[in-house]
Structure 1
Amino acid sequence: MTTEPAQSTAAPARLPRTLTRNLSQFDGQTVRLQGFVHARRDLGGVQFVVLRDVSGITQCVGSGLSLPLPESSVEVVGKVKAHPKAPGGFEVQVETFTVITAAIEASPLEIPKMEWNVNPETMLDYRYVSVRGLRERAALKVQAELVFAFHSHLREQGFTEISTPKIVSAGAEGGANLFKLDYFGEQAYLAQSPQLYKQIMVGVFERVYEVAPVYRAEEHATSRHLNEYLSLDVEMGFIDSEEDVMNLENSVLTVMMERLKTTCAAEFALLGATIPEVPAHIPRIPLMEARALVTEKYGHAVGGKDLDPEAERLLCQHYAETEGSDFVFVTKYPRAARPFYAHAEINADGSLSPDITRGFDLLFRGIEITSGGQRIHDHAMLMDSIRAYKMNPEAMTGYSEVFKFGMPPHGGFAIGAERLTAKLLGIANVRYARAFPRDRNRLTP
């Protein structure tokens, strides 16, 4: 007795999803794309759909298609064909077009035509959809890669990641720029910085870092300030001076920029930006010399105890012109311009300077992106500083007590991720370097 072979009833294998950036690998082949309707055109007998996915955009061409509203999520199956005028040099000739989830109303913004300098508040009001734009997500991709490189390099250098409280009983830097909140009937605050906790953790791991938001209740309305921003914090023990800290940041930035070259070339090209070269030794200049330089060379008189924004810009211009560096460390800040935990400068005779600290800032393309320095590690010196800053020693007990137990010389720095991202990409307003920015007027979305 013979039997017929069993007939398979299984559905044909489904094509794997292809990303738009990989279309060049499939010229002449059928692919399956999934993404969003970025733009559409209906020319009667022929329809054009620009499909956007996580990797880019591509043009899809078909006929008899029922096109949904822009931002609908769709699936396209079709044949890849080289086309010199299409995004990426290839288009997809549609065989099947499926709407996965249709947009139920028109987007409040025409995403392909958004510009950061046109009605920026409207773009932020509708951030839940404007963040889908190619330029918007490019900035966030760059920031994500910066953070990845920060993590990776510090781990290679023996640093341990920590997580510190964001609800605290006192500010790390004092002052009035604290967000107050009720904590079960007690006064509490949102953390300005993980500074005090990361110093404590130097006594545990010696080298620590954290990537987390910090909060500043400053009523700024400028293009360079946020009230919540992502801080990349580092603290390291057993240092000789702040030079060790600056050397570490120099290496961190070098690794960050090299990472961007390999992962974000397309994003920089899209935004017309360039990735800077980090010098092997970033230039350094004491604050008072920096003030004198911008006055003598550019005629800009600097008031106050720090550099004003114009002085920062001019100092960066000087180093870009004379040393080809987009970066410059400003060192030896006066005590009046540094927080209470800043270590005093040590004079040649071993005495402590009453006025100058081992604090520094890092400027990049005309703006401060880092504050750092060596910290006080001696208990008696710390208590004197707390009192000199007219802070309540009892309120600082949870922090200051650890300095009774052999804290090593240590220091660190913090990079504002959004500022660094914005300056790298030429974004005029730092709010566009955060997915959902918080400033003094914005709590939504």
Structure 2
Amino acid sequence: MTTALPRTLTSALPTHAGRTVRLQGFLHARRDLGGLQFLVLRDRAGLVQCVGSGLDLPLPESSIEVVGRVTAHPKAPGGYEVQVESFRVLTPATEPPPVEIPKMEWHVHPETMLDYRVVTVRGLRERAILKVQAELVAAFRDHLRGEGFTEISTPKIVSAGAEGGANLFPIDYFGHPAYLAQSPQLYKQIMVGVFERVFEVAPVYRAEEHATSRHLNEYLSLDVELGFIESEEDVMDVETRVLAAIMERLREHAAPELALLGATLPEVPAHIPRITLLDARRLVEEKYGHPVGGKDLDPEAERLLSQHYAETEGTDFVFVTKYPRAARPFYAYPEEGGLTRGFDLLFRGIEITSGGQRIHEYPMLQESIAAYRLNPEALAGYAEVFKYGMPPHGGFAIGAERLTARLLGIGNVRFARAFPRDRHRLTP
């Protein structure tokens, strides 16, 4: 077998019609028919059907190499197939895959797909989801850099929680108590004093015993913080532009994946509608007869409020603003009447963002720490920076998996992460 030919990806086959190419990938599927052998090769760019005879085919998912001539074929994946001239097994699979990857969507239980995630993540739909998320994150980074933001990296082992509460994973740090970070919030605020505008893409950890389709205990958080703002309105404006940039990039760079998944991207309005929490509660109760108790919107109220704005304004997005202090962490900037300059962003019926303006004055911060009954010593390192002229600032955080799931119509957020962690799953 010659190896002089450069490797060709399946996506480039239309430009090689009538020529001999060298393909490398995985044996996605195989079948014998009337003395002919049909094998489907999968590489990072897609699929191609290869046709030969007398081939010693290995088990599915083996790594293989095919050299052959490209011919047009209207019924083949992508409209082309390869007439095999030589075939080589690069790395044979030593046993059959635990599931048939080409048939997973129809024949495999969702929990089984997660149990064998090391293999099932190779599926076309599964990798399409992750490719969309990769482009989403790339758009997030690129747009913010264009607006003068600097990417930072903050500790994931911390001495105290950023938001208080008990949803922290404790760890033993050389004999001292420590925790996995539930948010980079405190550090990204500190870094506003350095770069003014910062962002981070990193995992965060929440020790919440949820068992729902919208929660993970480890997820990818897209965090933003910016200084010298007038109010939380400036923060919402930045997020609106970020979301518009994400949709634009997905249309340009993830069109095949979106088509495969049957996903429709939303239009992001120049000004996403904004409604106070009090008015939102009143609206869903008066229009839909759904009473809302507690300090936040419940999932059904989020769905109904989103339905209202989809019907009346044709948008999938709505900001809910002016949350009470009881529903916000200690660093939220307070207003009269026990409210804060905090907001959530709902998208297609689910909250995907929390954000707002933060406290930037040292005396006010100390008062808030006391009001929330937090340990001031544990927060001393964070609070110290506010003695030195921190500007008015605010920010937001987007859960990458939750946004991905809503964009693509995925019912469970676990399938928007390669290797999800929830209260029942620590492997693979």
Equivalence for 1:8 = none
Distance 1:432 1:12, change over 3 A: closer
- Does residue 165 of structure 1 match 2:122? no
Unaligned runs of 5+ in 1: 1-10, 346-352
Of 181, 184, 190, 1:194 maps to: 184
Q: Which amino acid aligns with 1:96?
A: S
- Map 1:19-418 to 2 at 5 A: 19-115=9-105, 118-345=108-335, 353-418=336-401
Task: Give, in angstroms, the shift of residue 29 of structure 1.
Answer: 1.2
TM-score by length of 1: 0.95
Task: Give, in angstroms, the shift of residue 354 of structure 1.
Answer: 4.1
Q: Distance in 1 between matches of 2:195 and 2:389?
A: 14
Aligned-partner SS, 1:333: coil
Of 429, 439, 445, 2:412 maps to: 429
Q: Distance in 2 between matches of 1:387 and 1:354?
A: 19
- Across the aligned residues of Structure 1 and Structure 2, the Cα RMSD in angstroms comes to 1.2
Q: Which amino acid aligns with 1:305?
A: K
Q: Which amino acid aligns with 1:355?
A: G
- Does residue 14 of structure 1 match 2:14? no
- Give the length in aligned residue pairs: 428
Equivalence for 1:7 = none
Q: Distance in 1 between matches of 2:262 and 2:145?
A: 32
Q: Distance in 2 between matches of 1:232 and 1:90?
A: 40
Distance 1:13 1:178, change over 3 A: closer
Q: Which amino acid aligns with 1:70?
A: P
Q: Distance in 2 between matches of 1:68 and 1:276?
A: 44
Q: Which amino acid aligns with 2:417?
A: R
Q: Which amino acid aligns with 1:218?
A: E
Aligned-partner SS, 2:105: coil
Distance 1:118 1:287, change over 3 A: farther
Q: Distance in 1 between matches of 2:275 and 2:128?
A: 34
Aligned-partner SS, 2:148: coil
Distance 1:424 1:190, change over 3 A: same
Distance 1:72 1:12, change over 3 A: closer
Checking the alignment, whether the CA contact within 8 Å between 2:99 and 2:108 is kept in structure 1 is no
Task: Give, in angstroms, the shift of residue 43 of structure 1.
Answer: 2.0
Q: Distance in 2 between matches of 1:13 and 1:92?
A: 17
Equivalence for 2:421 = 438
Q: Which amino acid aligns with 1:253?
A: L
TM-score by length of 2: 0.98
Q: Which amino acid aligns with 1:389?
A: Y
Aligned-partner SS, 1:344: coil
Q: Which amino acid aligns with 1:112?
A: P
Q: Distance in 2 between matches of 1:158 and 1:308?
A: 36
Task: Give, in angstroms, the shift of residue 15 of structure 1.
Answer: 1.1
Q: Distance in 2 between matches of 1:37 and 1:12?
A: 20
Task: Give, in angstroms, the shift of residue 121 of structure 1.
Answer: 1.3
Q: Which amino acid aligns with 1:281?
A: H
Q: Which runs of 4+ in 1 moved over 3 A?
A: none
Task: Give, in angstroms, the shift of residue 13 of structure 1.
Answer: 6.9
